[in-house]
Structure 1
Amino acid sequence: MTKNKNEIKKAKDGTYYFRVFLGKNSLTGKRIQKYRSGFKTQKEAKEALSALRVEKSSFLESSIDEEKELKIMFSDFIEDIFLPYYKTRVKLRTYENRAQTIRKHFQYFYHLAVSDIEPLHVQAWQIELSKNLSRSYIRNVQGIFSVAMDRAVVLNLTEKNPSKIVGNVKKQKTKVEFWTKEEFERVISFIYTEDYYQHFLFVSLWLLFMTGMRSGEATALYWKDIDFETGTLNITKTLFYKNQREYYPVEPKTRASIRQIVLDDVTLEFLKKWKQVQKEVITTDFVLSYNGIPTQKHTLARAIERFSKLAGVHRIKLHALRHSHASLLISMGENAILIKDRLGHEDIETTLGTYGHLYPNSNFGVATRLSGIVNYQPSQTNNDMSPSNGFTVKYREKVAMELQ
């Protein structure tokens, strides 16, 4: 009785209310509280509180049957169960990049319980995403959603994965954008290297175009990674950049990403000159830095936007400088295996699948080289007296009669 009395409060309007703690949700670990108000008398409030305790007693005893009936909201599942699990399954950089995407796009289902999400909901979600997003991006988002729903099935929170029932959006091969050698030359001709900041931009864009490095690999480069004696550049890491105070090197994308790139003489000279200029202004271990800290991707992306506009050349994304390097090598006649190794692809299929279409008139070139390459003298007699099938027997008899 004393407990009930303490839990029941009187409101300013003279009515009574209570807030009671009924234990924890065994799935999420969250406290379960119930609030009731508007009781005219304290007695009514006491009776309602007692009834609520009786009604929930089986839950408080963790009844298996009622626990199965307890539905967990998708929002609680994502925040309290899936994201903590997902964080242990992927690299920290991957988790931090994707957690924001998950929260943004999965909100569509937050008003539903996990077990109430149906294929129809997923299809409607796909249509909504398709209004503003590319198919490749939607495929990635839905791929993570399927992983989340698979986990829910494993944990017996739902019986099925509606995402797999609907299927992902159809894959669409995206057009690879790049600059030709001539277009790159036009763009960099507008960069004034006597200006310290523009000198930094010139070296950054040049290095990306001439090596095909991923931007994260380039921004993680230390001067010690470049051997000016042998002319080689060692890629062993990529950069995780959160803000100007939080950044650090992490493992590269794949094992194949750890590689050595041989630099051409001109690039080596540009790097040597930049190292001298940089040293006069700042002290840093980072190659691509003008202020002591590694550069941000959007800094270089904005530079591409500005100088491509000045040059009258179509704008490309920062990652497209990697594609531009591959295109340059292809135009020079380099084979796909060399390109694969230089770009750090895991397998040759990735290289051919991405850049195979850039080989201009390759079939015609092969046909020209094959013409006349095989020489032989035709037989003047029949050296094969093996039995023939019915059709060829009739054909031979016909030919023999015509010759008589």
Structure 2
Amino acid sequence: MATVQKRGDAYRIRASAGYDATGKQIMRSMTWRPAPGMSAKQITKELERQKVLFDEKTKSGHHLDGNIKFKDFAEKWFEDYGKEHLRERTYYRYKELAERTYTAIGHIRLDRLQPHHLLEFYRQLAEPGVNMRTGGGLSPKTIKHYHTFISSVMDRAVKWQLIQDNPCKRVDAPKVEAHEIDCLDETEAAQFMRCLQDEPVETQVIFSLLILTGMRRGELLGLEWTDIDFDNCTITIRRTSQYATGRGIYTDTTKTEKSKRTITIPVELAALLRQFRAWQGERRLRLGDVWCTDWAEHPRLFCQWDGKPMHPNTPYQMLQKFLDRHGIRRVSLHSLRHTNATLLIGSGADVRTVSSRLGHSQTSTTLNIYAHQLQSADKAASEALADTLIRKRPG
């Protein structure tokens, strides 16, 4: 039967998990801490319940404790927690980060993982040569992703009472410098739209949607024809299309619940979408049985040549070629989302409307990202009011 030892304001519960090959008894332990405000009687009753539960778990082999190594626990965390609670994109991203993390700290027991282990790992990630593409170290943003992954695992270990605290909380997360928003100004955006008219219809639709709606890349590629309401000129965003190594292209949920939204589009864009749908239908008829039937029930707007969903890297490659052809300075795909937001703000749209169209979970997110643009718009509004009421007084 499990035994109890009081240690400060907590209780240490120990139980036998049998014997190892040498005949040595295997002991497991856990710490239980009463909730604030519990009476002595309640503590006694709950402590007895915890003893019985812990004893049963230990004897059945279902008990974990801080002795488990980080890699072993993380794998269990992926299986028992990650698959159900993480967004699919986050799950596969963490899987990608896991390999390098296991090499550095996978052998360390949870109860012995200390801040200096993490700091050394982050230092190694920043060393030249770690990034195979650039030859330099990983960016602070990527290193912060590693920190978030490790912290998520350790947080769950605390909640499952394997350890008392999360060492990641005692380490400052790598600082990510705030980058100035890169987007097209009004003149560049107008040139962008003029040049689009000389492009194939698919190119026109992809970049018109991005710059006129501000939707994210994954949201764009997740669009299905049933999401387009031609009569009311609206698009409803319900899902995203993502890619992960070993998983391929898959459908995922939107970034947040607020990201599920309906956006009004200009009638000109609705007409262009009709033209694009007709073009896609003709291509599908020409290909016949070659056209992929796996996605027949959920036909995507943007596909590969054979009807399979478009790879997430394709729009970026298309954008760079388009910009080079027309002598427009290179910007990222996400810059078109920023362009949409800044032009809306410049046109006088209120923050709540901009936030809603972008699918931000909170208006404060919009305020933080576009603080400079909002300040400029506020100054312009002040000047316009002064022109009307002060500088243009009759007489």
Same fold per TM (> 0.5)?
Answer: yes
**1:84 alignment counterpart:** 80
Correspondences of 1:289-308 after superposition (within 5 Å) = 289-291=303-305, 292-308=307-323
Q: How far apart are 1:302 and its partner, in Å?
A: 0.8
Gaps of 5+ in 2: 1-16, 30-57, 59-63, 128-136, 286-295, 391-395
1:64 aligns with 2:1: no
**1:269 alignment counterpart:** 271
Give 2:300's match in structure 1, choosing from 286, 289, 313: 286
**1:113 alignment counterpart:** 109
Q: How far apart are 1:351 and its partner, in Å?
A: 1.0
Farther off after superposition, 324-333 or 280-289: 280-289
Give 1:227's match in structure 2, choosing from 229, 247, 256: 229
In structure 2, do the counterparts of structure 1 residues 100 and 255 end up closer, same or farther at CA, with 3 Å as the change threshold? same
> 1:229-258: per-residue Cα shift (whole Å, max 9, x none)?
221112222224458996554432222222
Aligned length: 319
1:169 aligns with 2:174: yes
In structure 2, do the counterparts of structure 1 residues 235 and 313 end up closer, same or farther at CA, with 3 Å as the change threshold? same
For 2:333, what is the secondary structure of its paired residue? Answer: coil
In structure 2, do the counterparts of structure 1 residues 81 and 229 end up closer, same or farther at CA, with 3 Å as the change threshold? closer
User: Structure 1: how far apart are the matches of 2:348 and 2:107?
Assistant: 56
Correspondences of 1:3-402 after superposition (within 5 Å) = 53=21, 56-59=22-25, 62-64=26-28, 71-81=67-77, 83-131=79-127, 132-155=137-160, 157-187=162-192, 198-241=200-243, 247-282=249-284, 285-291=299-305, 292-359=307-374, 361-368=376-383
Q: How far apart are 1:349 and its partner, in Å?
A: 0.4
> 1:295-334: per-residue Cα shift (whole Å, max 9, x none)?
1220011112222233333322222221121122122222
In structure 2, do the counterparts of structure 1 residues 156 and 352 end up closer, same or farther at CA, with 3 Å as the change threshold? closer
User: Structure 1: how far apart are the matches of 2:75 and 2:247?
Assistant: 27
User: Structure 1: how far apart are the matches of 2:231 and 2:114?
Assistant: 62
Question: Identity percentage over the alignment?
Answer: 27
User: Is the CA contact 1:238–1:250 (under 8 Å) kept in the aligned structure 2?
Assistant: yes
For 1:337, what is the secondary structure of its paired residue? Answer: helix
For 2:85, what is the secondary structure of its paired residue? Answer: coil
TM-score for both structures, normalised by structure 1? 0.68
> What one-letter code is carried by the residue in structure 1 that aligns with 2:359?
G
User: Is the CA contact 2:239–2:252 (under 8 Å) kept in the aligned structure 1?
Assistant: yes
In structure 2, do the counterparts of structure 1 residues 128 and 310 end up closer, same or farther at CA, with 3 Å as the change threshold? farther
User: Structure 1: how far apart are the matches of 2:186 and 2:277?
Assistant: 25
User: Structure 2: how far apart are the matches of 1:209 and 1:216?
Assistant: 15
Q: How far apart are 1:187 and its partner, in Å?
A: 4.7
> What one-letter code is carried by the residue in structure 2 that aligns with 1:123?
L
